[in-house]
Each structure stands twice: as C-alpha cells, then as structure tokens.
Amino acid sequence: MTIRRTFLGAAVLAIFATTAGSALANKPLVMGFSQVGAESEWRTANTRSIKEAAKKEGIILKFADAQQKQENQVKAIRSFIAQRVDVIAFSPVVESGWDTVLREARNAKIPVILTDRAVNAADKTLYTTFIGSDFVEEGRRAGRWLVEHAKKTPQRTLNIVELQGTVGSAPALDRQKGFAEAIAGHPNLKIVRSQTGDFTRAKGKEVMEAFLKAQGKNINVLYAHNDDMAIGAIQAIEEAGLKPGKDIVIVSIDGVKGAFEAMMAGKLNVTVECSPLLGPQLMKVARDIKAGRPVPKRIVTEEGVFPAEVAAKEYPNRKY
C-alpha cells in the first residue's frame, strides 16, 4: 500500500514536473526596450520595426521612450531589472556613463543587447552583443562622395558646414570622424563651421540659419549627420533665398523617405544609408541568448549610398 502510494505520488509528481517544464519553455520571452526618443524619421521607423518584430515573434515587449535623456534610460533599465525581464535591449542616447546601471543588470543576471548605438564601456562583458551600423564608415562614405563631387571643380575651395548629431552620441562622434578622415588630404575641402542640431529638423533649421547668418554666401556644402537635420536646413536655405542642392550641395545620412523626396525635388544631393530595420535581428538574437546559443559580440548592418540620380528609381523600394 505504502509502496503503491509512493509510486503513484512519484508518477503524479513526474507528470506535474513535465507540464511545468514545458509551460516554462513556452513562456513568452519578455524584453525591456529603452528607446532614445522620437527625434527623427529614422527613429520612428526603428521603433516600428522593433514593435512589429516583437509581435510577430510572440515576444512581450516593455517599451520605454526616453525622450533623448540618458537619465530616463537609466530609470527604464532599473525598472526592467526590478521587473525581472528576460532580456534588456536599449539604444544608448550617448556613449558614456553606463557602467553602473549595466553592472546592476549583470548582477541581476539579465543579459543586455545594445541596438543601433554603442557604449564606450571599457568592460565589454557589460553587454552581450551590439547590433547596428558602422557609423564611421557612413561618415567616410559621405566624405568620399564629396571628394568625388569636388573633382569636377578641382581649383575651387569648398566651404563646408557640418550639422552634428546629438553631442556625445556614437553616430555623431563616428560620423564626424569618418567624414573628416575621408576629406583629409583634400585641402580644397574645408569645414568652416560645425555645430550640433541634435538630430532633429527644428534644430537643423535653427543652426543652419545661424550658419547662414555668420557665413553669408560663403557656404558651398552642408554635411548633415542625419536626413532630418538636412531637411530642416533645406527650409532655412530656401528662406535665405538660396537653392538647396545647387547653391549649397547637401550630403546627409539615413536614407529615409523624406530624403528621397528631397532628392527627387533636386534639393538634396546624396544620402548614405543607415538602416533602422533592426527589429527582426534583435528578436532573433534575444531568443538565441535565452536559449544559451552563442551570439557574435558585434552584428553590423549592411547599407548602401544613394545619390540624387537614382532617387526616383529607388523610391518605391524604400521601406522606411
């Protein structure tokens, strides 16, 4: 009797354990995602991509918009830790100042995925992987396009104004560096002013107005770290009675639809692609990490360069 009861009990327990086990395995993965904000067309497309991919993959997404403030991102990450999410992903608004909060995530044994922007932490074990573009290369591509363009007028000095992205952000630092590298050794290409427009249209317009006021007509080229600032600047240039894309050659980065429209209207000369469609890759990597599969430390997005001449042909293919 006792033996039978024990056996039965064990059998019931075994069944229970199996059910509980599979229930655990089927439990949807929970991801906490801290987004930079909604500062640009790029960012809106990035958010959409992440939300859609999570839905498609059956991943529960806790999404927090930081309105371009690091302190909000830190708060969001701490709240994800408190909620014991399975994975934390975030796009760090600036590069530095993350060590403490990342250590807290590590102590809680919650893996962290960086998307889009990098951190400059010396301790690389503070995050599992970084998915995103090579921003230095994007800056080089923008610079190389300009070097080619300038070959048409080799005797002419071209005064360049630069609209930088958010101060201290990986894309602003890297795009500045890559561009400077590509135009170095071309003394006719001179950066005469460089200031942040915080990756927004409004600031891009405002800073371009200040550039125009300070430089008068002595601006030949605008290099904008993103399309939105270029689009804002186009307005300022037109309001100053000049022709964007002609009087002032404009080079920018992202490849959003707004940039293609500006190119088709002859107001923008080239955009270097930076894909925001990181959602599907992010969800896949999150699953791999959760399943204990090894993931690469760096996953680089593939991108191209689109000059105005191909804009109309490429426009229908653009997904963001």
Binding site for ligand GYE (CB under 6 A): 39-40, 42-43, 116-117, 171, 199, 226, 228, 253-254, 274
Structure tokens at 1: 């009797």
The token pair at 210 is 């200040």
Return the number of the residue (173 or 274) whose C-beta is nearest ligand GYE.
274
Q: Return the number of the residue (86 or 95) whose C-beta is nearest ligand GYE.
A: 95
Residue 195, CA distances (Å) to 64, 112, 232, 247, 253 in order:
29, 32, 14, 21, 16
Bridge partners of 159, per DSSP, are 190
Which has the closest alpha carbon to 118: 63, 196, 199, 36? 36
Minimum Å gap between C-beta 255 and ligand GYE is 9
User: Which is nearer to ligand GYE, 40 or 73 (by Cβ)?
Assistant: 40
Q: Is 55 helix (H, G, I), strand (E, B) or coil?
A: helix
Q: State the Cα–Cα distance between residues 75 and 73, nearest whole angstrom.
A: 5
Query: What's the closest the beta carbon of residue 186 comes to ligand GYE, in angstroms?
Result: 25
Tokens of 182: 């590509």
Tell me how far, at minimum, the Cβ of 252 lies from ligand GYE, in Å: 9
C-alpha 215/C-alpha 211 separation (Å) is: 6
Shortest distance (Å) from residue 9 CB to ligand GYE: 58
Q: What residues are paired with 320 via a beta bridge?
A: none
b (16+ CB within 10 A) / e for 63-72: ebbbebebeb
Shortest reach from residue 166's CB to ligand GYE, in Å = 7
* Closest to ligand GYE by CB, 88 or 131: 131
Contacts of residue 2, Cβ cutoff 8 Å, sequence gap at least 6: none
Q: How far is the CB of 42 from ligand GYE (least distance, A)?
A: 3
For residue 214, the minimal CB distance to ligand GYE (Å) is 25
Shortest distance, position 84 Cβ to ligand GYE, whole Å: 28
The distance in angstroms from the start CA to the end CA of the chain is 70
Taking the least distance from each CB to ligand GYE, the nearer of 199 and 223 is 199
Q: Give whichever of 117 and 267 is closer to ligand GYE, judged by the CB atom.
A: 117
In contact, 227 and 175? CB cutoff 8 Å: no
> Residue 222, by phi and psi: left (phi above 0), alpha (psi -120 to 50) or beta?
beta
Q: Which is nearer to ligand GYE, 51 or 106 (CB)?
A: 51
Comparison of 111 and 139: residue with beta carbon closer to ligand GYE: 139
Residue with token string 């074990």: 125
